[in-house]
Homo-oligomer: A and B are copies of this chain.
Amino acid sequence: MPPRLLDPLVTADVAVFRVDDVRLQVLLVRRALEPFAHRWALPGAVLKPESDVDLEATARRALRDKIRVELPHLEQVGAFSGAGRDPRGWSVAVLFYALLPRDRIDAVVRSRVEALEWTDAERPGHRLAFDHATQLRQARHTLREKVEHRALPLHLLGERFTLTELQRVCEAVLGRALDKSAFRRRLAGSEDLVEIPGAFAHGRQRPAQLYRARDGFVF
């Protein structure tokens, strides 16, 4: 029995989501190191107890070191544990998810990983390392439940957005079309949206009022 087995490995993984037009996408990295070198995975890192305050700090460090991105808000999905999920031995991974606006993607640069890819969150085009396919499914489920019942995923939008853009983002998360009037009624009851006076988006249709998240908004 390898000694590792008595010394559980603790890691943090992150499902970073964005909405590209009408699809929910997740960020994958191609691993440079073993285990699972050259395989696609959710970004993550092994806990450094001497420097990480908690596992959310581990997750933030993973994103900072691997894809040079600072995320405003991480939400915990849950823990995945057991002897079989990591070839290095008994392990516990705590999974978080993050929501990224589409206009932030240029800030993502390559480092410490072989490649990056935004892929369909429902059907990623790669076989994932570890139990990351299960983790991704659980992260999607947690995000959907929250948007279905309680919260607006405003972190997926830019600083200013129209209500139509907000509806498209919610539809992408939920994977289904929403009735416009019912959606507008729900928005009317939300304290998280703030109308920007005199600001309008000018597209092919008539000018649309622009909104922003209220100060201090947390998903």
Chain B residue, CB-CB nearest to A49:
B90
Residue of A49, A53, A76 with most chain B CB atoms under a 10 A cut-off = A49
Instruction: Determine whether A7 belongs to the interface, using a CB cutoff of 8 Å to chain B.
Output: yes
Q: Is the CB of B79 within 8 A of A49?
A: no
**Contact flags A132-165 to B (C-beta < 8 A → 1, else 0):** 0000000000000100110000000000000000
CA distance A47 to B82 in the complex (A): 10
Interface residues on chain A, number (Cβ under 8 Å)? 26
Q: Does A6 contact B (CB under 8 A)?
A: yes
In angstroms, how far is the closest chain B Cβ from the Cβ of A145? 8
Residues 82-98 of A, flagged 1 when their CB comes within 8 A of B and 0 if not, give 11000001101010000
Q: Is the CB of B78 within 8 A of A79?
A: yes
In the docked arrangement, what's the CA distance between A56 and B6, Å? Answer: 17
Residues of chain B lying within 8 A (CB to CB) of residue A55: 79, 81-82, 92
A79, B82: Cβ atoms closer than 8 Å: no
Q: A49–B83 contact, CB under 8 A?
A: yes
Rounded to whole angstroms, the CA-CA distance of A149 and B76 in the bound complex is 20
Which residues of A (105-131) have their CB < 8 Å from a CB of B? none
The answer to whether the Cβ of A101 comes within 8 Å of any Cβ in the partner chain is no
Report the minimal beta-carbon distance from A104 to chain B, rounded to whole angstroms: 26
A54 within 8 A of B: yes
12 contacts between A and B (CB under 8 A): A8-B8, A8-B10, A10-B81, A49-B83, A53-B82, A54-B82, A55-B81, A76-B79, A79-B79, A79-B94, A92-B94, A148-B149
**Interface assignment of A191: CB less than 8 Å from any CB of chain B:** no
List residues of chain B with CB within 8 A of the CB of A90: 47, 49
Chain B residues, Cβ within 8 Å of A1: 50
